[in-house]
Chains A and B, each alone.
Chain A
Amino acid sequence: MAEAIIKTKTITKQYGNFAAVDRMDIEVNRGEIYGLVGKNGAGKTTLLKMVSGLMVPTSGELQLFSQKSQRELDRVRSRTGSIIETPGFFPYLSAEKNLEYYRIQRGITNKNCVKESLQFVGLSDTGKKRFKNFSLGMKQRLGLALAIMGDPELLILDEPINGLDPMGMAEFREMILKLNHERNTTVLISSHILGELSQIATTYGFINNGRMVEHISAGMLEEKCKRSLIIKVSDPNKAADILKNEFSCNNFHILNANEIQIEGFLDTPEILVQAFIKNNVMVSNVNQSGLNLEEYFIELVGGIHNV
């Protein structure tokens, strides 16, 4: 049975009459990369702040590593690392000195962990350069270096790739995957860049207006996003006849001179291919067409006007 690292029960954060997070249940299991998806103001950062202890929930229950009392939550938070919103560091200190400050503060006895963390994120050659002179990408990397210092079991990352260039995003993605694969680090990550999120998340939580709309595994989501087959054929009209006559299928569209789109047969495209070939319709390509994460999310929250 999967071990829940984070578990909330009807957790709520209320500001007057407005609920930033409204009776939300979430469960993140060990080894997962849990992608939190939601529009601006949906409640992602508020949820992550409550999990990180930066904000006290108005009501509901939070469990971390199966602990729920405040004292125990504080204790087990030492097994986590986090980047909440933009990374904050002392501007007049170098990367190494900033991390050394936190190493001393956290009582980490391994002095090499600072250099190891900087090396992992590719900041080992910044020398005496002060944090205030870092680029946004370097700041984000330093944020990750602090988050992973001390080898945490859980990473909480709020919009960690904001402001990174495409190369930086790819590198960041690789770092997260490496941590997850090599150290089995559990990751709870929110991001607006859904294309990036879709490349790493193993589970998704879709949030809208402070509520959890859907919690789904990446595999299940992939299944749900599948919509049709696009087959490249030598004669689409003849392929259409075969679909009508042999499969009694009318859910298709001829897209162009050599492509036909078919609703259904998502799990058994080989049956169609065999039938086409048997009837002298050459098949050169079979693709699945469907929704991407962004389109799925938009559909889930009720259209582009609600995003």
Chain B
Amino acid sequence: MFNLIRADLYKAFHRMYLYIFMGVMAAAAISYNVLFAYAGAPREVAFGSALSFLMFPLFLVSMFVDIVTAEENKEHTLKNTISFGISRSKLYLAKNISAVIIAAAVAAVTLGAFFVSGLLFLKAGEGFTSSLMPDIFLRISVALLLYIAAIAMGTLLAAVVKRNTLFTFAYFGMLVIPVMVFKLLKLANHIFSNAEYAMLLTQTQVIARGTQAQLLTAVWIALAHIALFVPLGLFLFKRQEIN
């Protein structure tokens, strides 16, 4: 499995697309702090407000899944791997792990740019206490776990939906539509508010301001998504006809 991951990383990091994406993300993070500096806001306000953007990377997850898994359908390259006798289980797990590593690399660059530029451009106010940064990092860590769950969901969809464009639609649909449906259904029955709460998109909003207990719930929800989507994806992928 190590070789499979290494190969995926070799491919991803030999692609300009990934570096451009990293650059854009880093530039966005720096621009965010520059704007706050221009407005004269203190560091803690900028950092605290940034937590409300935790839901957006959820939509970017499809790009990492595309780089690792979905494009294999588009380019018909999976047959080269399967016909060599590489176990589908190992391959599927490796695809999940590779996407997580690539996402982590992009996250590291983005967060690095964000915090370094924040320290450089923004002044610490009275609210910039010693407990602020650990709290922000805790929330970001929980968000990363939710993104990993989204990668598991995206990889399943990439394995099942053979068309790249359809895959992107399916991924966005899976993220957004259930939340919207449960929002409507909870008007009829309150039980659906629990279902809405268990969605990844909802959780990325909850953890921005949530309590410790809510953060723990978010961790369990992320793990439950991973526990559901990885085995299900594996089950479906093992029965897939490869073109």
A299 at the interface (CB under 8 A from B): no
Q: What are the residues of chain A within 8 A of B71 when measuring CB–CB?
A: 90
Partner of B84, one of A56, A77, A93: A77
Given A90-B71, A90-B77, does the pair A54, B7 have CB atoms closer than 8 Å? no
Contact bitstring B127-158, A, C-beta under 8 A = 1, else 0: 00000000000000000000000000000000
Within 8 A of B (CB), among A66-95: 73-78, 80, 82, 84-86, 88-93
B242/A55 in contact, CB under 8 A: yes
Task: Say if the beta carbon of A107 comes within 8 Å of chain B.
Answer: yes
Q: Which residues of B contact A86 (CB under 8 A)?
A: 76
> Given A89-B75, A104-B10, A105-B4, are A52 and B80 neighbors across the interface (CB < 8 Å)?
no
User: Does A247 interact with chain B (Cβ within 8 Å)?
Assistant: no
A101 touches B10 (CB 8 A): yes
Once the chains bind, are A97 and B85 in contact (CB under 8 Å)?
no
Among A74, A91, A97, A104, contact of B87 (Cβ-Cβ < 8 Å):
A74
B 1-34 to A, binary, CB cutoff 8 A, 1 in contact else 0: 0011011001100111100000000000000000
Interface assignment of A111: CB less than 8 Å from any CB of chain B: no
A53 at the interface (CB under 8 A from B): yes
B81 within 8 A of A: yes
Contacting A at CB under 8 A, from B65-116, are 71, 75-87
Residue of B3, B75, B77 near A106 (CB, 8 A) is B3
Shortest distance between the CB of A50 and any CB in chain B (Å): 10
Let me know if B77 and A104 touch, CB within 8 A: no
Q: A47 at interface (Cβ–Cβ under 8 A)? A: no
Residue A161, interface by CB 8 Å: no
Number of A-B residue pairs having CB atoms within 8 Å of each other in the complex:
86
Closest A-chain residue to B78, C-beta based? A88
Cβ distance A101 to chain B, nearest Cβ, rounded Å = 5
Q: Are B80 and A146 in contact (CB under 8 A)?
A: yes
* Complex Cα gap A73–B85 (Å): 7
Option from A53, A56, A92, A105 in Cβ contact (under 8 Å) with B15 = A92
| Inter-subunit contact B239/A106 (CB<8 Å) | no
Chain A residues, CB < 8 A from B242? 49, 54-55
Q: Identify A105's interface contact among B75, B76, B81, B243, CB under 8 A.
A: B81
Nearest CB of chain A from residue B159's CB, rounded to whole Å: 14
**Is A102 located at the chain interface by the 8 A CB criterion?**
yes
Instruction: State how many angstroms separate the Cβ of A205 from the closest Cβ of chain B.
Output: 20
Q: A78-B85, A97-B14 are in contact. Are A88 and B80 (CB under 8 A)?
A: yes
Determine whether A212 belongs to the interface, using a CB cutoff of 8 Å to chain B: no
Contact check, B7 vs A105: say whether CB atoms are below 8 A apart.
yes
**Residues A90 and B75 in contact, CB atoms below 8 Å apart:** yes
Is A78 within 8 A of B84, CB to CB? yes
Could you say which residues of chain B place their CB within 8 Å of the CB of A78? 84-85
Is B126 an interface residue, CB under 8 A from the partner? no
**Cβ B83 vs Cβ A93 within 8 A:** no
| Bound CA–CA A102/B241 (angstroms) | 21
Asked if A88 contacts B11 (CB within 8 A), the reply is no
Q: Are B3 and A56 in contact (CB under 8 A)?
A: no
- Tell me, rounded to whole Å, the shortest Cβ–Cβ distance linking A133 to chain B: 15
Least CB distance, A136 to chain B, in whole angstroms: 15
A100 sits at the interface (CB 8 A): yes
Across-interface contacts of A107 in B (CB, < 8 A)? 3
State the Cβ distance, B68 to closest chain A Cβ, in Å: 12
Also in contact, A89 and B6, with CB within 8 A (given A52-B83, A77-B85, A78-B84): no
Q: In the complex, A104→B10 CA distance in Å?
A: 9
Partner of B83, one of A80, A90, A101, A105: A80
A24 at the interface (CB under 8 A from B): no
A156 interfacial by beta-carbon distance below 8 Å: yes
Counting chain A CB atoms within 10 Å of each CB, the highest count among B4, B16, B79 belongs to: B79
Can you report 24 residue pairs joining A to B where beta carbons are below 8 Å apart? A53-B82, A54-B243, A55-B242, A74-B85, A75-B85, A77-B83, A77-B84, A78-B85, A80-B84, A82-B83, A85-B76, A88-B75, A88-B76, A88-B79, A88-B80, A90-B77, A92-B15, A93-B14, A101-B10, A102-B7, A104-B3, A105-B84, A106-B3, A107-B3
B residues bordering A, Cβ < 8 Å?
A: 3-4, 6-7, 10-11, 14-17, 71, 75-87, 239, 241-243
- Besides the known contacts A54-B79, A56-B239, 10 further A-B residue pairs in the complex with CB atoms under 8 A apart: A49-B241, A52-B82, A74-B85, A80-B83, A84-B83, A85-B243, A88-B76, A92-B17, A104-B7, A106-B3
The 4 nearest A-B residue pairs measured at CB: A77-B85, A88-B76, A105-B7, A52-B83
